[in-house]
Structures are given as structure tokens and as C-alpha cells.
A and B are shown apart, each in its own frame.
Chain A
Amino acid sequence: MSIEVKNVNKRFGDFVALDDVSVSLPTGQLTALLGPSGGGKSTLLRIIAGLDSADSGSISIEGTEATHLPPQKRNIGFVFQHYAAFKHMSVAKNVAFGLEIRKRPKPEIERKVAELLDLVHLSQFANRLPAQLSGGQRQRMALARALAVEPTVLLLDEPFGALDAKVRKELRDWLRRLHDEVHVTTVFVTHDQEEALEVADEIVVINQGRVEQVGTPDQLYDAPANDFVMSFLGDVTTLGGELIRPHDIEVDVVPGEPGAIEGSVSRVLRIGFEVRLTVLTDEGEVVTVELTRTNARRLGIAEGSRVYLSAVRGATRV
């Protein structure tokens, strides 16, 4: 186990940021710390990095007790949401910083910097200043800079949070491919469940300073431990008093399935290939249902239609 967090507590005044958090993050994997803003995930990452200190509890990195080590002795790479580029240095100098601090020989630094700039596709920008790069390029530079020191673990704090949606998606894929090439233990913080589900090998869901669940994306999506994880990882609605995903509801216009709940469609909303229905059941429940356009057409559903709702087989329900 690469990073062991044991019984960590952290308060900011009256606010409990982390409440007795224990978690172990596996070596060589890409792990996401996922949760809503203010849930404590960034604080946990900063405590692992040594940029914040825990009030109590311990951290060990690759078997080394690190609780009281200053950040520069932890051999970590840290990538910040707002890049934290060294504004007065060229891109190449930024990447070389950690190596120069470690007093590596000049030819070695040059070779390594060239290699890393190639890896992040910034070779042609080596002599530019960070201000002359786009947000996505700056973040790739920050990644190269963090990787230059060959860190034991790479920590990323909402690395794509400040980028626009398209660049975000590109960088996300790119991070996944990069990780498959470099294999450094990587932990990244995100509040975007899609990002976590798409990129991570393992997800730690953190809410209100506590770990709600740890597991692979599939485990979390298919077998959420509680309401919170269920609703944070995707859209949910209630059917017969249970949480269920809107696309896990079977719609029928004739009573067939035993135990189906009867209601009438109060609203039909079409979004591209998807049709979203709001159904008012006879028991007074408001249920959201998602189905494909093809299905909706086949059933001939319009506002006011009588429908019978039931959970599909294998649906996740909490």
C-alpha cells in the first residue's frame, strides 16, 4: 500500500474538515478523491502533500512515516488547480526547477526537461513564459514540472477545474493515457463524478469530512453504500420509496409487470437522443424517468399518458 492515512482529523476553527479519516491508496493506481465542494477532499490531499498539517492522525508514504515531514522532503509531485506556474521563468525553467534544486548535472537536466516537454507536447513552447500559454498548456507544464522530480506519488488538486469543458475532457483522457505510460501512483481531487468514473482506477468518496465509500467506479456505481454515494454518482429519483436511477425504470403503457406503479405523465422533455419524463404516480410520488427517443416513440408517450413504472432487472436501488 502506497499511501496510508490513519485517523486523520483536521479542523479550521469550528469547521470540521476531516473527521477521523482512514484510507489507504494503492501503489501505481490512479485514485480519485471525489466529493462535493467543502467536503474535505482537498484538505486531505494537502495533508498528504504536507502543505497542511493534520491536527491528529498519521500519514505514511511508501512505508515512510511522513506525518511530520515538510513538503520538500516527501518526494511528491503536486499539481494545483490554478497551475501555480512560476511566472518569471520560461516553460523549460519551470520544468527544470525541481532538478536544479536537487543540483543534478546540467546535461542530465536538459535531457530530462526535453523528454518531459515531449511527453506533455510542449517542446515547441520551451522558451515561452507561462503567460503566453493557454490554460490547458499551463496545466500540462505544471504536470511535467511535478513529474520531473520523479515523485513517489503525484497529487493533483482539481487539476482541470479551471479549464473549459472541451479542454477538460481532452486533458482527462490525456491524464489517463499518461498514467498508463508512467505508472506513478496518482491521486487527484475532483467534484466531477463523470471525471472520476472515467479516469480513476479507484474512487474514494468523501463527504462532510468522512469517507463514504471506497471502490472501483463499477462497484460504486452498481453497489453504492448509501444514499449519498448513490445520488452523488449520478441522477436519482424515487420509485416506491426507494432511490433508483431514472434510466433504470421500465415504462409501459399497458399493465403487465406485477407490482408496477401506475401514474400519468405530467411533463415530457426531450434532450437530444434522450427523453425525460416527469410522472406523477397515483400514490402521489413524483418520478423522473429517462428513456431513449426510440423507446418513447414506440410507446407513443405524450403528456397525460397513463404509464406503468417498474424497476428494470439488475437496477441499483438504495
Chain B
Amino acid sequence: MANHSAAVGRRSPALTWGLRILVVGYLLMLVLWPSWYVVQHTFADGLTGIQTALQDPDVQHALLLTAQVSVLAVLINLVFGVGVSLLLVRYDFPGRRALSALIDLPLSVSPVVVGLALVLVYNGRYGWFGPWLEAHGIQIIFSWPGMVMATCFVALPLIVREVVPVLEELGDDQEQAARSLGASGWQTFSRITVPGIRWAIVYGVVLSLARSLGEFGAVKVVAGNVAGETQTATVLVQQKYQNFEQTTAYSVSFLLAFAAVLCLIVVALLRPKASKESP
């Protein structure tokens, strides 16, 4: 790395090494060591820890529920995220900047607040919109729709923030050319726009998925934490840990972390092919 540049006035080797050790040490203490501890505790007794955890019906249910809620939330986010990105980049309308700022709100607001806000609106007894929905047989809070909504909310900016810069860079020349060649709006979108932004979409989806799997605060407030019913994997980890079932807690933590790492590996494997395809 140091021989990348031959500029005048290079740093002394001692300083370079000092900086490197600082960065590596920082990552080690903050990320690697704690993560390694989780792995270590999960496999302290070989595979028995994980096997026991996976036989617990509450764990099975929580993992399944987390997967279902996450996938649903990511799908909704995908449609909405791509739509909003197109709206923000390709159209000019009053309030565009305000909308753009609003998209980032979930990044800055605490997920617990998000959960509470959803409860206030959709609560079946005293919520603003909840009693009407409940009268029509739709329960949102303490049920999966609420959990999906909470997850959608927190993962909202991830796809938009990936897709918007790519759309901006892509420009609308190709879309105009497609229109002039007779393509309808939908044909232009599916044949020209989507291939142009597909890597941004893949990245956004993976980030959203990772974020959705790991969501804790908002879902906990909205779901009500009923084991075997509305308890997601992250909430389960906290509960098991507090109940001194540490091995189960570590095992589920490991599975969550493993899923997230898997997502990143999949993207890393796909990525080089993309750069070869479109240099």
C-alpha cells in the first residue's frame, strides 16, 4: 500500500505502522473479539449447544417468524424503495427535497420510538386508526402486520440510498432512447432501467435483509413478545439470556450473525462478475 504513491514528503515508516496497528486494534476490540466470543460460546460443547437450541420449539418458531417477517419486509421495501428512488431522481415536484430528507428519518430515529409511534396509531383499543381496522377483522399491533411494518420502517432508507446515486449517474438518456424506439413506460423500466440499477438493488436488498433480521427495538414494542407467537429471534436472544439459558442465546446470536455474513459473502461472490460484464 505504501508504495502506491511516490509523492514527496512520505510519512515515516514508524508512523505508518503506528496508524495501522491503531486501526487493526480498534476493529479487533470493537468487532472481531466480541464476535469471536459469541462463536466460542456457541461451540463451547461442540455442536450440542446449537442442536439443543434448535430443538426448542420457541427457537424454531422465532427463527421462522424472523425469516418470514424479514423476507416480506424486504419485498415491500424493494417495490417501494425502487419506486421512491425513481420518483426522487426522475421527477421534479414541490416537496421533493423534503421527501428525500424524510426517507432518512428511520436512520436517525430510535427504533423504539418507531415501535411506539406505530402502537399509538394502530393499537386496537385506543389507537388513531386501530379500532376501525380491528372492527374490520385486521389486527396490526401484537401481530405479524405490525412487525412487518416496523421492520419496513427501519429498513426504509437502505434500498433508496443505494439506488438513488446509481440512477443519478445513469442519467435518463438510455430511457429516452428506449422511448423513442417505441418502448412503453413499463418496457423501458424493465428492459433498460432495471438492468442499469440491478447491482444497487442487490446491494440494497442484502443490506435491508441484514438490517431486518437484526431489528430489535421496534419489533419488540410492536409485537408484544409472546414466546411461540410474536417473538422474533433477536427478542428471543434477549429473553433467553436473561433467563440464564446462555447457550441458546449464543446459538441463536450465532445463527443471526451467520445469516448476515452469508448475505455479504453472496454479494462479494456476485460482484466481480458484474464488473466484468459491464466494465
Contacts and interface: CB of A to CB of B under 8 A. Distances in A.
A88 B182 contact: no
A76 B196 CA distance: 24
Given A80-B173, A80-B176, A82-B173, A87 B278 contact: yes
B183 interface: yes
Contacts of B192: 86
Given A88-B196, A97-B183, 7 more contacts: A72-B181, A75-B182, A76-B180, A80-B173, A83-B173, A97-B178, A142-B177
Nearest to B188: A72
A98 B181 contact: yes
Contacts of A145: 177, 181
Contacts of A80: 173, 176-177
A51 B181 CA distance: 12
Given A101-B187, A131-B279, A87 B181 contact: no
A102 interface: yes
Interface in A218-264: none
B180 A88 contact: no
Interface in A76-102: 76-78, 80, 82-88, 97-98, 101-102
A72 B176 contact: no
Contacts of A57: none
B57 interface: no
B183 A72 contact: yes
Nearest to A131: B279
B180 A77 contact: yes
A49 B196 contact: no
Given A129-B278, A131-B279, A98 B196 contact: no
Nearest 3 pairs of A and B residues by beta carbon: A98-B181, A84-B173, A78-B180
Interface residues of B, number: 19
A104 to B, nearest CB: 11
B174 interface: yes
B271 interface: no
Contact of B180 (A72, A102, A129): A72
Chain B interface, >50% SS class: helix
6 contacts: A86-B192, A131-B279, A142-B177, A145-B181, A148-B181, A149-B181
Interface of A: 49-51, 70-78, 80, 82-88, 97-98, 101-102, 129, 131-132, 142, 145-146, 148-149
B177 A84 contact: yes
| Residue of A83, A88, A148 with highest tally of chain B CB at under 10 A | A88
Given A82-B173, A87-B196, A101 B183 contact: yes
B179 interface: yes
A50 B181 CA distance: 12
Contact of A102 (B173, B182, B195, B277): B182
Contacts of B176: 51, 71, 78, 80, 84
A160 B173 CA distance: 16
Interface in B173-223: 173-174, 176-184, 187, 191-192, 195-196
Given A80-B173, A80-B177, A101 B279 contact: no
Contact of B181 (A82, A85, A88, A101): A101
Interface of B: 173-174, 176-184, 187, 191-192, 195-196, 277-279
A5 to B, nearest CB: 18
Contacts of B178: 86, 97
Contacts of B179: 51, 70-72
A149 B92 CA distance: 31
Contacts of A97: 178, 181, 183, 191
B180 A131 contact: no
Given A49-B180, A77-B180, A102-B182, A86 B278 contact: no
Contacts of A49: 180
Contact of A72 (B182, B195, B277): B182
Contacts of B174: 84-87
B184 A86 contact: no
Contact of A131 (B173, B177, B184, B278): B278
A113 B72 CA distance: 43
Contacts of B187: 101
Contacts of B277: 88
B167 to A, nearest CB: 14
Nearest to A142: B177
A74 B279 CA distance: 34
A49 B279 CA distance: 31
A248 to B, nearest CB: 43
B15 to A, nearest CB: 41
A5 B192 CA distance: 31
B279 A51 contact: no
A77 B181 CA distance: 7
Nearest to A83: B173
Contacts of B181: 72, 77, 97-98, 101, 145-146, 148-149
Nearest to B198: A88
Contacts of A83: 173
Nearest to B173: A84
Contacts of A88: 195-196, 277-278
A142 B174 CA distance: 11
Given A87-B174, A129-B278, A101 B180 contact: no
A2 B90 CA distance: 32
